[in-house]
């Protein structure tokens, strides 16, 4: 039987929401092992002038406990 734990993280990117999610997983994987899935539960952006400046995602990261 597997036991899975969830943590919530926020990640950002100048490129887009998909890159923000990818960067979040990449950084989380440095300290969290056995990541199995992520759920992007929210997307936000900061705006400067009339353009999006930063894309942000709030994600639940699921990893298996060993």
What CATH number does the domain containing 20 carry? 3.30.1660.10
User: Residue 60's domain spans which residues?
Assistant: 3-65
Tell whether pTM > 0.75. yes
Q: What is the CA radius of gyration of the chain?
A: 13
Helix or strand (DSSP H, E) at 24: helix 17-28
Binned average pLDDT, 10 residues per bin, the chain of 66 residues: 95 97 97 96 97 98 95
Residue 1 has a pLDDT of 85
The total domain count for the chain is: 1
Q: In this predicted structure, what is the pLDDT of residue 21?
A: 98
CB 14 within 8 A of CB 55: yes
Q: What is the DSSP code (8-state) at residue 32?
A: -
């Amino acid at each position: 039987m597997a036991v899975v734990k969830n943590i919530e993280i926020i990640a950002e990117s100048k490129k887009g929401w998909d890159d923000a999610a990818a960067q979040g997983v990449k950084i989380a994987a440095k300290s969290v092992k056995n990541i199995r899935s992520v759920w992007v539960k929210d997307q936000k952006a900061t705006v400067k002038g009339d353009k999006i400046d930063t894309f942000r995602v709030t994600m639940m990261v699921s990893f298996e406990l060993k």
